[in-house]
Homo-oligomer: A and B are copies of this chain.
């Protein structure tokens, strides 16, 4: 994914908010039975709830962030869990420092 799409994905308050929440999932989301918030991620329903927006919007925003490569998805059963791609984020910071 190119940097333009990464920056576009970051040009939205709600998407930045999601990224921030996912930095410390345990602090922002209740536990899900049998899944490790940190290792697996947070499901769309939980993010939808905190976002105070519709499920549709939450899903799209997560998709946008994923297409930008900033978060990763894992589907388990009916749920899709999203977590940050810390390496990608670090690389973006590095890129900005050295090449932007």
Residue of B nearest to A5 (CB): B11
- Flag A1-24 by CB within 8 Å of B: 1 or 0 each: 001100110111100100100000
Least CB distance, A10 to chain B, in whole angstroms:
4
Across-interface contacts of A92 in B (CB, < 8 A): 96, 100
Given A4-B16, A10-B7, A13-B4: A95 in contact with B97 (beta carbons within 8 A): no
Is the Cβ of A93 less than 8 Å from the Cβ of B89? no
Q: With an 8 A cutoff between CB atoms, is A94 at the interface?
A: yes
Least CB distance, A85 to chain B, in whole angstroms:
12
User: What are some 17 contacts across the A-B interface (CB < 8 A)?
Assistant: A3-B10, A3-B16, A4-B11, A4-B12, A4-B13, A8-B11, A10-B11, A11-B11, A89-B96, A89-B100, A93-B93, A93-B95, A93-B96, A93-B98, A93-B100, A96-B96, A97-B97
